[in-house]
Amino acid sequence: MAEFLDYRFGEIAATNEVVRQRLADFRTTLDDFKTTYNRLAANWGGTAAEGAVQVSEQLDRFGLHTADIVQRFLTELNTHLEESQAVERTNTGLFTT
């Protein structure tokens, strides 16, 4: 365990926003990849087309799974931020009689 519990709510929220933006970028890049491979598959024929489709599908599965994990991370981080703020409010309130 770290020596200090050092919570800065603004920085946690900023991190959350940066990761959220990166996730949006990642989804866009993934869509671009899939579009490219699908276009190649449409232009090609035979096993080359099958390979392009296979890569597209593989990218899609991996991308969706990765995006789901990052989304879960964002959700957990945001939940932790809200809990931290609530705990801090309660803790400081405990000293008021």
With respect to another protein, which residue has the nearer C-beta, 24 or 86?
A: 86
Give 81-89 contacts, CB < 8 A, sequence gap 24+.
81/9, 81/12, 81/13, 81/16, 84/7, 84/9, 84/12, 85/9, 88/7
Query: Which residues in 31-90 contact another protein (CB under 8 A)?
Result: 40, 43-49, 51-52, 55, 58-59, 62, 65-66, 69, 72-73, 76-77, 79-80, 83-85, 87-88, 90
In angstroms, give the least distance from the CB of 73 to another protein: 5
Q: Are 53 and 37 in contact (CB under 8 A)?
A: yes
Q: Are 33 and 73 in contact (CB under 8 A)?
A: no
In angstroms, give the least distance from the CB of 36 to another protein: 10
Place of tokens 């899609």: 60
Residues 3-42: x/- map of binding to another protein (CB under 8 A)? xxxxxxxx--x--------------------------x--
With respect to another protein, which residue has the nearer C-beta, 22 or 72?
A: 72
Which two three-digit tokens encode residue 70?
């990052």
